[in-house]
């Protein structure tokens, strides 16, 4: 509250020190050093930072003092619009940890406003955002709708993430495809869609993935038609992310992704993890390697580790710009 007795110089002083205080909170090498306004949402505007992981791009909002996102799914979808908004494949919220075992919580809305359980490229961007905000740590334990996820900051600026164990039981992915493989899972199971017969493997990394191996990514699929048809096929009650995959070498896979709730994106981290698991189970590549997955936006390295059955994903995350947007 401002008292009338406060002189103008005192008022200016107050403003300056509050802005210096919030700026000082950021990491010394933070890209936000010039920013004085905190990354929060006010009545009709939101302060945000934009990050990308292999061209999979996200709007990051700092809600570390909140338990739930400060924006609605509708507001988030509008912000993701590349003409009427900021543009992005999703909005990610840094939230208060639900309990002491976690450092923070993450929630994400896809560009259509739907809420997925997890995101691979997004959590690397999230970890970079925390570091840039001054939450200086070599790793973070993040609570997500898919459970605890642990990004580790590497010396070279990339991030390696413990993505947890893959879910292989078909009904848990979820899919109504008949299990045809050990562990009640669906591996290259037949599916009719769009007048074509597909061989589909179903894997969940917290979010659902349908993986389809093809001989030639350019010739064997009509991406813009087959992608959305498979995404919304009745065999996938929660809809599904669709990865079309070509095996390039025993440790190298190439993919195109049609994302649930986002359409064609340049990269999908959970998808890269899911397709690596599917490739090993379908006998396309040997188990145990640190596999290169080439996405339209670049390469990720994925390891399904036999010792703990967990999937580890390594890749970049880059700050692009920051700003304030109307909501």
Closer by beta carbon to ligand ZDP, 64 or else 260 = 260
- Of residues 185, 189, 201, 207, which one binds ligand ZDP by CB under 6 A? 207
- Of residues 122, 297, 315, 316, which one binds ligand ZDP by CB under 6 A? 122
- Residues within window 224-283 making contact with ligand ZDP, judged by CB under 6 A: 241, 259-262, 265, 268-270
Binding piece for ligand ZDP, criterion CB under 6 A, among 117-125, 150-158, 164-172, 193-201: 117-125
Compose the 86-115 pattern: x for residues touching ligand ZDP by CB under 6 A, - for all others.
------------------------x-----
Around Cβ 156, how many Cβ atoms within 10 Å? Answer: 8
| DSSP code for 95 | E
Catalytic residue among 80, 125, 268, 273: 268
Closer by beta carbon to ligand ZDP, 131 or else 262 = 262
How many residues touch ligand ZDP under the rule CB under 6 A: the total is 17
CB of 204 to ligand ZDP, least distance (A): 9
Q: Is 125 one of the catalytic residues? A: no
CB of 15 to ligand ZDP, least distance (A): 38
Which residues, in sequence order, are CB contacts of 126 under 8 Å at separation 6+?
A: 60, 92, 94, 106, 142, 151
Beta bridge partners of 181: 185
3-state secondary structure of 322: strand
CB of 182 to ligand ZDP, least distance (A): 25
Q: Is the dihedral angle over the CA atoms 61, 68, 104, 209 positive or is it negative?
A: negative
Closer by beta carbon to ligand ZDP, 38 or else 240 = 240
214: tokens are: 């093809």
Q: Is 119 one of the catalytic residues? A: yes
**DSSP annotation string for 23-88:** HHHS-TT-TTTT--S-S-B-SSEEEEEEEEETTEEEEEEEETT-SS-SS-HHHHHHHH-TTTSS--
Question: Going by DSSP bridges, is the β-strand pair 263-265/290-295 parallel, antiparallel, or unpaired?
Answer: unpaired
List interacting residues with ligand ZDP (CB under 6 A): 56, 110, 116, 119-122, 207, 241, 259-262, 265, 268-270
Catalytic residue set: 119, 268
């Amino acid at each position: 509250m401002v008292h009338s007795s406060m002189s103008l110089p005192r008022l200016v002083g107050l403003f300056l020190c509050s802005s210096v205080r919030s700026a000082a909170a950021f990491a010394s090498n933070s890209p936000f050093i010039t920013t004085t306004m905190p990354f929060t949402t006010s009545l009709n505007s939101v302060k945000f930072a934009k990050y990308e992981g292999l061209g999979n791009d996200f709007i990051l909002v700092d809600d570390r003092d909140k338990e739930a996102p400060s924006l609605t799914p509708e507001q988030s979808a509008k912000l993701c619009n590349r003409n009427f908004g900021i543009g992005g494949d999703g909005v990610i919220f840094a939230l208060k940890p639900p309990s002491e075992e976690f450092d923070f919580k993450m929630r994400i809305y896809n560009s259509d406003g739907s809420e997925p359980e997890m995101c691979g490229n997004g959590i690397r961007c999230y970890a970079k955002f925390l570091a840039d905000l001054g939450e200086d740590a070599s790793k973070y334990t993040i609570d997500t709708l898919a459970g605890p996820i642990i990004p580790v900051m590497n010396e070279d600026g990339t991030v390696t993430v413990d993505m947890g164990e893959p879910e292989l039981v078909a009904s848990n992915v979820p899919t109504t495809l008949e299990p045809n493989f050990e562990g009640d899972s669906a591996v290259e199971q037949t599916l009719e869609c769009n007048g074509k017969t597909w061989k589909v493997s179903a894997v969940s990394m917290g979010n659902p993935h349908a993986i389809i191996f093809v001989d030639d990514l350019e010739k064997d699929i009509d991406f813009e038609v087959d992608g959305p048809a498979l995404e919304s096929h009745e065999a996938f009650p929660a809809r599904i992310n669709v990865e079309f995959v070509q095996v390039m070498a025993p440790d190298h896979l190439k993919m195109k992704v049609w994302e649930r709730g986002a359409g064609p994106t340049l990269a999908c981290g959970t998808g890269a993890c899911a397709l690596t698991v599917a490739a090993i189970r379908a006998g396309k590549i040997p188990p145990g390697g640190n596999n290169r997955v080439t996405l339209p936006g670049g390469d990720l390295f994925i390891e399904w580790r036999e010792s703990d059955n967990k999937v580890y994903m390594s890749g970049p995350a880059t700050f692009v710009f920051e700003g304030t947007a109307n909501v």
